Amino acid sequence: MRVLLVEDEEKIANAVKRGLELKGYAVDTVADSDTGLSYAVDPDYDIIILDRMLPGSKDGLDIARQARAEGQKAPILILTARGSVEDKVEGLNAGVDDYLVKPFSFSELVARMQALLRRPPVPTSSVLSYADLTLDPAKYEVTRGGKPIKLSNKEFALLEYFIRHSEQILTKDMIINHVWNEDAIVMPNTVEVYIGYLRSKIDRIFPDQPPLINTIRGFGYKLSR
């Protein structure tokens, strides 16, 4: 997998590059935004990591926006010292797929990258499905085996995250970061509680079907058959 890393902090750039290369990624690093943009339009990259604040005439979001406008399809992850909801909305509007707030751990960066790289292309239908589950984000409807299921907002968001990342191990941290916003204070056992609610609604009431939300001991959870 070919990675573009646009990061002006040399220490971070070098550490990330070295770490990713040990994992078999091919990494190009660039330290300023103008050179960064000229690289970021290259369709050969499988994933692009952009620091938000960069020297030069642009910031990371400008690069993302322009690269998308020029047809870049690769997932884009932004590294940012800022992590407000407004920043994230701005980022999503710029075509960014994920955020990592500095300081971040290398293992979290890798986990996020792998999740982005596994993400299937945007489906043409807005209805998501896995096994006999369906979830319609627009109509806010969930069914299992054709039977409607009522979920709370958080349960719905959690299930949507699971379906979008089916058959992938999701750690509690990943779940917290994707289902709750930056302002929320979420403890790992809060995740367990919500997983419990979700299980009671989509698994326990279908005792004849295999449970779909599975615990991967020591790692997290996985939506799988």
Smaller CB distance to Ca ion: residue 5 or 74?
A: 5
Number of residues lying near Ca ion (CB under 5 A): 3
Q: Which of 1, 53, 109, 110 binds Ca ion (CB under 5 A)?
A: 53
* Residue 81 beta carbon to Ca ion: minimum distance, rounded to whole angstroms: 8
* Residue 57 beta carbon to Ca ion: minimum distance, rounded to whole angstroms: 14
Q: For Ca ion, which stretch binds (CB under 5 A), given 48-56, 129-137, 169-177, 184-192?
A: 48-56
Smaller CB distance to Ca ion: residue 59 or 160?
A: 59
Q: Can you give the chain as a three-state secondary structure string?
A: CEEEEECCCHHHHHHHHHHHHHCCCEEEEECCHHHHHHHHCCCCCCEEEEECCCCCCCCHHHHHHHHHHCCCCCCEEEEECCCCHHHHHHHHHCCCCEEEECCCCHHHHHHHHHHHHHCCCCCCCCCEEECCEEEECCCCEEEECCEEECCCHHHHHHHHHHHHCCCCCECHHHHHHHHCCCCCCCCHHHHHHHHHHHHHHHCCCCCCCCCCEEEECCCEEEECC
* Residue 156 beta carbon to Ca ion: minimum distance, rounded to whole angstroms: 36
Q: For Ca ion, which stretch binds (CB under 5 A), given 6-14, 82-90, 200-208, 213-221?
A: 6-14
The contact pattern for Ca ion, residues 8-27, with x = CB under 5 A and - = no contact, is: x-------------------
Smaller CB distance to Ca ion: residue 3 or 195?
A: 3
Tokens 């295999």 correspond to: 210
Q: For Ca ion, which stretch binds (CB under 5 A), given 43-51, 85-93, 130-138, 155-163?
A: 43-51
Joined together, the tokens standing for residue 180 give: 């709750």
Cβ neighbourhood burial of 80 (10 Å; 0-12, 13-18, 19+): buried
The contact pattern for Ca ion, residues 122-151, with x = CB under 5 A and - = no contact, is: ------------------------------
Smaller CB distance to Ca ion: residue 12 or 67?
A: 12
Smaller CB distance to Ca ion: residue 8 or 203?
A: 8
Q: Which of 36, 39, 51, 96 binds Ca ion (CB under 5 A)?
A: 51
Chain positions contacting Ca ion, by CB under 5 A: 8, 51, 53
